[in-house]
Copies of this chain bind each other. A is one copy, B any other.
Amino acid sequence: MIIQLDMQSDVPIYNQLMNQIIEGIASGSLKPGDPLPSVRSMASDIGINLHTVNKAYTLLKQEGFIQIHRQKGVVIQPDTMPGITPEYQDKRNAYLKPIIAEAICRGLSEEQLLQIVRDMHNEITQTGEENV
């Protein structure tokens, strides 16, 4: 699990970290039950503070993507991954709508937009295949 952070980005570090772990799960490079580094080692590995990692882990735990045990440490959700909740749908649509609206303004056709989503979907699901 290689974490790449952009310190110049307007996206908060804890958010980038969350996204990369979620992308790791989506790609299959992180499988249910797989361990994640401790907050301290992850923090020193990527050169950030302990609390920033802890914030990302805590939020991922709240959303159900990981489990945190005193004994086993932090592991990718081994049981059932979080499903399609109404809160998730609302949040997803809220984030998706402005992106689609801007794409329309800039002249992207519906089919072009769908192709971008297809490409990105394949890019994610095929990335992890090599690492199996």
Chain A residues within CB distance 8 Å of chain B: 11, 19, 22-23, 25-27, 65, 81-84, 88, 92-108, 110, 113-114, 116-118, 120-121, 124-125
Q: Which of B81, B106, B121 meets A113, CB within 8 Å?
A: B121
28 examples of A-B residue contacts, CB within 8 angstroms? A22-B101, A22-B102, A22-B105, A23-B101, A26-B100, A26-B102, A26-B105, A81-B106, A81-B107, A82-B105, A82-B106, A83-B106, A83-B107, A84-B106, A84-B107, A84-B108, A88-B106, A92-B99, A92-B102, A92-B103, A93-B116, A96-B116, A96-B120, A97-B124, A100-B121, A110-B118, A113-B121, A114-B117
- What separation, in Å, do the CA atoms of A110 and B123 have in the docked complex? 12
Min Cβ gap A114→B in Å is 6
Contacts of A88 in B (CB 8 A): 102, 106
The count of identical subunits is 2
Contacts of A19 in B (CB 8 A): 97-98, 101
- What separation, in Å, do the CA atoms of A96 and B102 have in the docked complex? 12
- What separation, in Å, do the CA atoms of A97 and B125 have in the docked complex? 12
Task: Report the 3 A-B pairs with minimum CB-CB distance, sorted nearest first.
Answer: A26-B104, A26-B101, A19-B98
Contacts of A81 in B (CB 8 A): 105-107
